[in-house]
Amino acid sequence: MKHTIIVIGGGPAGLLAAATAAASGASVTLLERMDRPGRKLRICGKGRGNIGNTAPLDEFLAHFGKNFRFLRPALAHFFTKDTIELLHSLNVPTKEERGGRLFPESDSAQDLVDAFVRHARTQGVTIRTGCRVRSISRQGEGFEVGFGSQSLAADRIILTTGGASYPATGSTGDGYELAKSLGHAIVPIAPALIPLVTEGDTASRLQGLSLKNVRVELRVDGKKTGEDMGEMLFTHFGLSGPLILTLSKAAVRAVDQHKKTEILIDLKPALDPAKLDARLLRDLGEHGKMHVENLLRGLMPPKLIPICLEQTRLAGDKAAHQVSAEERKRLRLWLKELRFTVRGYRPLREAIITSGGVDLTEVNPKTMQSRVCPGLFLAGEVLDMDADTGGFNLQAALSSGHLAGLSAATAS
Ligand SMILES: Cc1cc2nc3c(=O)[nH]c(=O)nc-3n(C[C@H](O)[C@H](O)[C@H](O)COP(=O)(O)OP(=O)(O)OC[C@H]3O[C@@H](n4cnc5c(N)ncnc54)[C@H](O)[C@@H]3O)c2cc1C
């Protein structure tokens, strides 16, 4: 039987679901509320579109936290190599960068949007823009979808409305209400991959400074809760950049539970305390007449020097040879543990991804079909799944979208 399918939401999950369902013989209409599909995809990876990651399956899944099991069947069915092949067939060759991150060779996320839209159209999908779906109701075995003053009937629905961050892209969380109206439970939503707001003015004084090859630790109530190496950024409100975003989900939870939440930055991760002490001794000895503030230039970016002098209570105009053992110890500790107290996080609208969403226990991972509303399929960020940065989220949207499209078109 040829199914009539309405896909709600034209992000990567919806576009690939629609194309796959149409390629599998269904008659497919995609309804997108914005004036064109893929508005969020277009800004992904700072406009370069980190579309996937070449990590092997188990390593890939480990980036999804506690819900990692759910995605296994979808990834087994459509994974990174399939994304690469599909994009290649759509004349968008890809390249791999640091940490297995996959990008279009053109460095243009817009090329990805154009390719997925072209793919959907070529398979026969009707894409209707400016159609914000407000209701889905059951009509016998099928559904009626309401948008504006219009409605459309279908025997299957694929819900791919995304999360609730960056609402200007069209993802305002409508899908949660639509899923709820069909009987689904929603795991409370919260920002994930979100910059952190810190106490005091240290971060704002360092605004714009980006640190590479540092180790950052998240400490909650005095206990190490997470740690990673890489790059971070100071902003006018606090801390951002890939390392901070990765640790942010646990930090958000800790802040919400009113736990003492700290970020500790190790500016010299390659040197253990003994080696760092030896390095400081050598520098102070070799440049005995140099002012401390000049000597520090060899140890840190210039913007950090006034902060370092203040927090270690070292006089910048002191000669290096006058630095006491106690002062050297303070400097060493500061270099290994530059501390920030987290007092909050930026709002959900600024999150890279929304955590929470449609409860995964109510969705069959082998088909993406709802267990509470047969005929409804779900994929992408509307589901309660979120991962670290690195292309994992877009691949999850594509994999779940592909499986939802295939199942909706073919399952009896
Ligand atoms: C700034 C930023 C950068 C990012 N960079 C990356 C990256 O480089 N790599 C990566 O893996 N992930 C990245 N992400 C995350 C990634 O964008 C999402 O995980 C992904 O877009 C989710 O795909 P989706 O199809 O589920 O939802 P979306 O892309 O959010 O698409 C949902 C679509 O549904 C439409 N819609 C919503 N409600 C309705 C309605 N009622 N009726 C009709 N249509 C509706 C929306 O307009 C939208 O087009 C980034 C996110 C942000 C915000």
Tens digits of residue pLDDT in 37-64: 999 999 999 999 999 999 999 999 999 9
Residue 136: predicted pLDDT: 98
Tens of pLDDT, residue by residue over 17-27, are 999 999 999 99
Q: Which of 290, 324, 345 is the last residue of a domain?
A: 345
Half-sphere CA count of 330, side-chain side, radius 13 A = 12
242 DSSP 8-state letter: H
Residue 216: predicted pLDDT: 98
For a ligand 1 pocket test, name from 352, 389, 395, 402 the mutation site with the most ligand atoms within 8 angstroms of its C-beta: 352
Strand-pair category, 126-128 with 27-31 = parallel
Asked whether residue 329 falls in the same domain as residue 181, the answer is no
Residue 162 CA, closest ligand 1 atom number: 27
Residues with CB under 6 Å of ligand 1 are 8-14, 31-34, 37, 39-41, 43-45, 50, 131-133, 160-162, 165-166, 170-171, 174, 352-353, 380-381, 391-394, 397
**Distance separating alpha carbons of residues 162 and 356, to the nearest angstrom:** 11
Asked whether residue 167 falls in the same domain as residue 263, the answer is no
Q: Which two tokens stand for residue 14?
A: 């919806």
**Distance separating alpha carbons of residues 109 and 128, to the nearest angstrom:** 22
Block means of pLDDT (10 residues each) for the chain, 412 residues, are: 94 98 98 98 97 97 92 97 98 96 98 98 98 96 96 98 97 98 96 96 97 98 95 97 93 96 98 95 93 95 97 95 95 97 96 96 98 98 95 98 98 80
Q: What number of residues does the chain have?
A: 412
Asked whether residue 169 falls in the same domain as residue 261, the answer is no
Residue 380 CA, closest ligand 1 atom number: 26
pTM over 0.85: yes
For a ligand 1 pocket test, name from 393, 395, 403 the mutation site with the most ligand atoms within 8 angstroms of its C-beta: 393
Asked whether residue 64 falls in the same domain as residue 50, the answer is yes
Asked whether residue 182 falls in the same domain as residue 245, the answer is no
Q: Which of 398, 363, 407, 412 is nearest to 50 (CA)?
A: 398
In which domain, by residue range, is 88 found? 4-191+353-410
Residue 234: predicted pLDDT: 98
Asked whether residue 45 falls in the same domain as residue 153, the answer is yes
For ligand 1, atom 29, the nearest C-alpha belongs to 11
For ligand 1, atom 47, the nearest C-alpha belongs to 170
**Distance separating alpha carbons of residues 37 and 250, to the nearest angstrom:** 32
Ligand 1 geometric centre to CA of 286 (Å): 55
Residue 65: predicted pLDDT: 86
The CATH number of the domain holding residue 15 is: 3.50.50.60
Q: Which of 345, 364, 390 is the last residue of a domain?
A: 345
Ligand 1 geometric centre to CA of 369 (Å): 20
Tens of pLDDT, residue by residue over 302-314, are 999 999 999 999 9
For a ligand 1 pocket test, name from 34, 80, 113, 394 the mutation site with the most ligand atoms within 8 angstroms of its C-beta: 394
Check: CB of residue 407 under 8 Å from CB of residue 156. Answer: no
SS3 411: coil
Residue 166 CA, closest ligand 1 atom number: 53
State residue 59 phi and psi, 5-degree precision. -65, -40
**Distance separating alpha carbons of residues 408 and 156, to the nearest angstrom:** 7
Residue 391 CA, closest ligand 1 atom number: 11
Residue 66: predicted pLDDT: 85
For ligand 1, atom 6, the nearest C-alpha belongs to 44
Q: Which two tokens stand for residue 156?
A: 């299957």
Q: Which two tokens stand for residue 228?
A: 């990673």
Residue 67: predicted pLDDT: 87
Asked whether residue 143 falls in the same domain as residue 121, the answer is yes
Q: Which two tokens stand for residue 21?
A: 């369902």
Asked whether residue 202 falls in the same domain as residue 176, the answer is no
**Distance separating alpha carbons of residues 213 and 145, to the nearest angstrom:** 50
Asked whether residue 163 falls in the same domain as residue 308, the answer is no
Asked whether residue 340 falls in the same domain as residue 258, the answer is yes
Asked whether residue 333 falls in the same domain as residue 362, the answer is no
Ligand 1 geometric centre to CA of 13 (Å): 8
